[in-house]
Each structure stands twice: as C-alpha cells, then as structure tokens.
Amino acid sequence: MANIGYVTMTLALVLALYASFVSVLGAQRRMSELVVSSRNAAFGVAALITGAVCILEYLLITGDYQTEYVYEVSNRAAPLFYRVTALWGGQSGSLLFWSWLLSLMTTFAIAQKWHSMRLMMPYMIATTQITVAFFLWLVVFIANPFAQTPIIPPDGAGLNPLLRHFGMAIHPPMLYMGFVSFVVPYAFAIAALITHQTSDIWTRTTRRWTLTAWLFLSMGLLLGMWWAYDVLGWGGYWGWDPVENASLIPWLIATPFLHSVVMQENRGMLKRWNMALIILTFCLVIEGTFLTRSGILSSVHSFSQSPIGPLFLVFISIMFAISLYLFITRWNELHSENELDGLVSRESFFLLNNLVFVGLAIIVWWGTHYPLFSEAIVGEKIIVGAPFYEQTTAPLWGVILLMMGIVPVITWRKTSLQKMGRSLVWSIIVAVAVMVALYFGIGLKIGGAVLGFGLCAFALTTILIEYGRGVQVRHRKGESYPVALMTLIGRNRRRYGGYLIHIGTILIAIGIIGSRFYQVETQRNLAIGNSMTIHSDFTGTYTLTYKGLREGDSPDDRIITEAVMDITYNGSPAGQLVPVREYFVVQEQPMTIPAKRSTLRDDLYVILAGWEGQGETATFKAFINPLINWLWIGGFVFILGTVVAAWPTMQEHRERVAAPFGVAVK
C-alpha cells in the first residue's frame, strides 16, 4: 500500500507539471484541445492525491508502523480520532494534506469558472498547478510520507501530546484551507496580468473566493487561540509566537485587500494597490508555510529542522520575481479611473484603513524575522518579545476601532464635516459616558484600557444605529422588527455582513482589553483543607480550597491525576474545579489541562502545577481573566458575519444550480 501511495503521488506530480505546461502552450497556440487537456489533467491531479491521502489514512488507522510517518505520529493506544487526524500531525503528512486541499480547491475553481473566464483560464490553471507541483515535489523527493523502515516496529512513537486536543484536530485544516484558497485569487490576478484583463473582472470573479479564504484563515487563527488557551496552561491565548505570527501576517494583508477591492469595483481606484496586495498575500502564505516547516525559528508549533527550507525560498523568489515582472510591465494598464474627491470620504478612509493594516503587517513581520536578521548581523538570535508587539500595534488597532465608528456615516466622493459630526453625536456621547463610568464609577485607572473601551463603545454605537435606521425604515412599511432585520441583511449581505464582522471585531477587542490589562495571577502551595484567595478589582474575589487528589479515568495511554477544589466567589459557594495533569506513558510526557469557571464577567483559570507524595500538598497557579469570553463570542459573530457577506444571493444560487461544474447556461 505504501508503494502504491508513493507511485500515486509521483503520477500526480507528473500530471501537474503536464497541466501547467500544456495550458500555457494551448493558450499561446490557441489550441482549445490542449487547454481542455490541461483542465482534465488538473482534475486527475486532485483524484490521484485523494487516492494517496486515502492510502496514508488507511496505514494510519491500521497501524502500519513500518511506514516511518505512521510510526512517528501514531500508536496502538491512540484513539481512532487522533489516528485519523495524525495525517497533519507531522511534516510529511501535513505537506501531502496541504497539496490535497490545494488540488481540491483549484479543481473546484476551475470547474466553476470554466465557461465564464475562458480567456484567463489557461494561465489560472498553470499558476495553480505549478504551486501544486511544488508541494508534490517536496513530498515525493524530500518529505515522503510513505518512506519505509528496514524493520517493523511493534508499536509507534505516538502523536505529540500537545496535539491531542480537538482544537488542534480542526485548527490546522482551517488554517490550511485559508492558505490554499488564497492561491485561487492570486492565480486569477496573474492570469489577468498576462491577458491584459486589468479591469475589475478578476476581483469580481474572485471576491467570494477571497472571502472564503479569509474566513478559513480567520477560523484557523481563532481555533489556534482557543487551543493555546485551553491546552498550554499559561493563562493566555496569544503569545506572539513566530508561527502564530506567520499565520497572522497574510491575514493582515488580505484584510485591506477585501476593503480596497470595494473601491476598485465602485470607483475604479486602487488597481495597482490591489494587485500588489494579492501578490503579497500569496507570497506571505508560502513564506508562512516555510517558517512553520523549515525549523529556522523556535516555536511550540513548528516542525523540526528540515532541508525543505531552501526549496521554499527558491520557490518564493521565483514566483515573486514573475509576479513583479508582470506587475511592472502592466503598470500603465493598472491606472486608476478616478481620484480622491475629498479628504473626508469613504475612499480616503478605506485608503487609511489599508495603510494601517499594512503598517501592522510590517511591524509583525519585522518582529518575527528579527532573530534571523540579528543572527546574520551579530551572530546571535535576539528574540522580540510580546511587549514590542503590544506597544507598537495597540495604537494602530485603536485607529481601526475609530474608523469602524466613522466609515458607516460617510459617503463616497465627499462628506462635509458638519454632516459627519451630526451623524456621530450619539456615538461620541455613549463613548464618553462609558469612559467616565469606567474611570470614576468602577475605578478602572489604566488610561489605555479605558480609552480602548471607549473606542469600542463608539464603534459599536455607530453600527447599531445604522442597523436601527434600516430596520425602522422597513418596519414603517409593515414588517415586524425581526422580519425587517432579516430582510435588511438579506437584501444587502455585503454591507450588513460587514457590519456583523465589525461587531465581532469590537467584541474581540473588549475581550482582549479586559484580559490583557486586568488579568490577575497567583501561585500557592496548599495542604489538603487549606485555601488560597485571588482578587481582581475588575471582577471580585475567589477563594479556592484544596480537597485532595484522585485518579481520573484513563481509557488509553494516559495516567490522569485530578485535583479537587471547592470554589467560592465573593463569599458565596460557586461549585468545584478539577484541574488535571495527564501523563502520556509512551511519550513519557506530562500535559497540564487547566480547569475553568467561565462567565461573561471573567474566567477563573486554575492549573495543577505539581504535588508531593500522594497529594498531601499540591501547587496551584490561578488566573482571573476578565471579559475573556467576549473574545470567543466575538469570534463567533465575526465568523457569522463573514458567512453572511460571502453567502450567494438567490440569483447567484440559481445560476450555480443551473450550471454545475461549469456547464453553460443557455
């Protein structure tokens, strides 16, 4: 089976190279038969990689430990769920998984746009298949997941215990889906440059693909934060880790692209800027994959040192050079059709939004790569810590919140300051009232946090007023308020879905501000029956009483130890918490699983750090994380808003049903 899997991957590589060559040849010679052949070859690539993935999954599930990859990431004691998800638990398997998702996404895009984008299609096929071929080259010649050992081990080494979590089972697929989906708009952008189709046709064609890619990447980031918070046991969710940053940077470039394409479609502006952003997004996606897989930066998320790093750099350099050449040679064709009519206009604020996001991306990119630069210059890796990122990015995030509250009330072309001021009166009043109440009423004295909450209140009020105005207009026409709200969103999904995304962002900001500025931490060693107290001026006082250790249910290769703690909040009983320590026998590695008491107000987050003897005494670390759950609520609203914005209209849905997989509608 392993040999069949390897042959299948090799055939897929040959077919991908064939598709990329024949598609260009067919376009140059105007031979439609060759272009059709390249399309069918791309479909064949997806089918062959699917076969290879199925074979590897079979080997993982059945425990063929003579296959090196299966030995490294699986063992007999692992539950079936984690044997299946071990496909992306190691270097070579995750590269095959990456190739598979990319082939599926590009195949679907080719089928969907085959008749509507015939002029661009050959070059789109070539671009996507070259990218598929690169990853297949890695798994065939460098990181072969079907490589065999000379002997058959009795059992496998098992999956890294850090990955034995539901969040890590779904976090990588979401992240990979986001990464590979961005190849589609990039491929259409390159095809548009080659064919001189430099109007907004490529942005309109790829708008939903870009939103889908952004959606998956956003979900991947949020799930990664949840995993870090739920498993790593340090009381936080984002540590500015290099691999975390490698996923965030493309998101920071793709976000302004989604905003600026609106300007290109509505006003014929920022054509050069949009082309540059999508090229940069693609290159950063590949570079982020390189940082994760090369092992050149230390991270809890990254793979070990690998020879694939130089190959990634060569591929990035080649693709960037080709893109830059096309971009420069089509520079004059990408001129804007209009100019800014006024400083206070939606166009100018969209442009400012773009510059702020690009500024954020530059800061995060620089901090992430600084250890490499410092090692090259002074011979020592100097790590940039979280304070650098927080101090440099916080003001820019504040500007983004401010713009969220202003942009909905200004129009295209030009808006007077007086009109803008009148529209923002209530937002300003609410923001000031919130800051005064927090500072003088509750007694929150951290100026940055109070200002942040005020900006959140300002932006949220503006958006809710916009919703209220629209709903009120429809209600006057006889619709009930719920029906009016649903109809309002359904009639303009792009606008009101965008507002939902902004609401989600504001809620996320509230969770981040509360947990970042007002987190409280303490650590105590307790004997059975003793108590520890942790107090937060923001939320109140918790008392934790240690009741002893007990053995938990250990269904597989784990030894589970649980600590029982009685909890009171402000003197009243608040239930029990049971922090857990798991010991993985095969890997000889412990895992700390925190216990949480979650409310909308805060999380009480408790870790069993260690114990003595039979648990006569134990050491606990406790955190109070104020407002942390608004981050997860905001993430849900954020994802919902993106789905609403990307959801096709009824007309688009009818056309898609009438024309499945590229069948022309008569």
Does 211 lie in the same domain as 359? yes
Number of Cβ within 10 Å of residue 572's Cβ equals 7
Side-chain half-sphere exposure of 214, counting CA atoms within 13 A: 28
pLDDT of residue 658: 45
Q: Establish if 661 belongs to a structural domain.
A: no
In angstroms, rounded to a whole number, what is the distance separating the alpha carbons of residues 387 and 239?
10
Does 302 lie in the same domain as 195? yes
Domain that holds residue 15: 1-163
Q: Looking at residue 533, which CATH number applies to its domain?
A: 2.60.98
Taking 70 as the pLDDT cut, the residues of the chain under it are: 294-306, 554-555, 649-666
In angstroms, rounded to a whole number, what is the distance separating the alpha carbons of residues 455 and 448?
11
Contacts of 606 (CB under 8 A, 6+ apart): 544, 565, 577, 579, 594, 595, 596, 620, 621, 622, 623
Does 378 lie in the same domain as 278? yes
Query: 54 near 60, Cβ under 8 Å?
Result: no
Q: Establish if 664 belongs to a structural domain.
A: no
Does 613 lie in the same domain as 490? no
Cα separations (Å) of 574 from 181, 207, 544? Answer: 46, 49, 10
Number of domains in the chain: 4
Does 408 lie in the same domain as 371? no
**pTM of the full structure:** 0.92
pLDDT of residue 170: 87
pLDDT of residue 398: 95
Does 199 lie in the same domain as 120? no
Per residue in 417-457, pLDDT (tens digit) is 888 888 899 999 999 999 999 998 888 888 999 999 999 99
pLDDT of residue 371: 87
Query: 9 near 108, Cβ under 8 Å?
Result: no
Helix/strand/coil percentages in the chain, nearest 5: 65, 10, 25
Q: Establish if 598 belongs to a structural domain.
A: yes
Q: Establish if 268 belongs to a structural domain.
A: yes
pLDDT of residue 664: 36
In angstroms, rounded to a whole number, what is the distance separating the alpha carbons of residues 139 and 147?
10
Query: Where does a domain end: 163, 185, 214?
Result: 163
Query: 355 near 277, Cβ under 8 Å?
Result: no
- Is 561 in a helix, a strand, or coil? strand
Report the run of H or E that residue 564 belongs to, with start and end.
strand 558-569
pLDDT of residue 166: 81
Number of Cβ within 10 Å of residue 537's Cβ equals 13
In angstroms, rounded to a whole number, what is the distance separating the alpha carbons of residues 353 and 502?
13
- Is 554 in a helix, a strand, or coil? coil
Does 212 lie in the same domain as 137? no
Report the run of H or E that residue 371 belongs to, with start and end.
helix 346-378
Does 373 lie in the same domain as 421? no
In angstroms, rounded to a whole number, what is the distance separating the alpha carbons of residues 187 and 136?
18
Does 570 lie in the same domain as 490? no
Does 300 lie in the same domain as 269? yes
Q: Establish if 255 belongs to a structural domain.
A: yes
Relative to beta strand 540-551, strand 558-569 is antiparallel
Look at the block and give the residue holding tokens 């004059």.
332
Characterise 610 by phi-psi region: left (phi > 0), alpha (psi -120 to 50), beta (else).
left
Does 284 lie in the same domain as 225? yes
* Residue 566: strand pairing partners: 545, 576
pLDDT of residue 494: 87
Q: Establish if 656 belongs to a structural domain.
A: no
Does 43 lie in the same domain as 2? yes
pLDDT of residue 298: 59
* Residue 627: strand pairing partners: none
Q: Establish if 652 belongs to a structural domain.
A: no
Relative to beta strand 540-551, strand 589-593 is unpaired
Tokens of residue 134, six digits: 């690169």
- Is 482 in a helix, a strand, or coil? helix
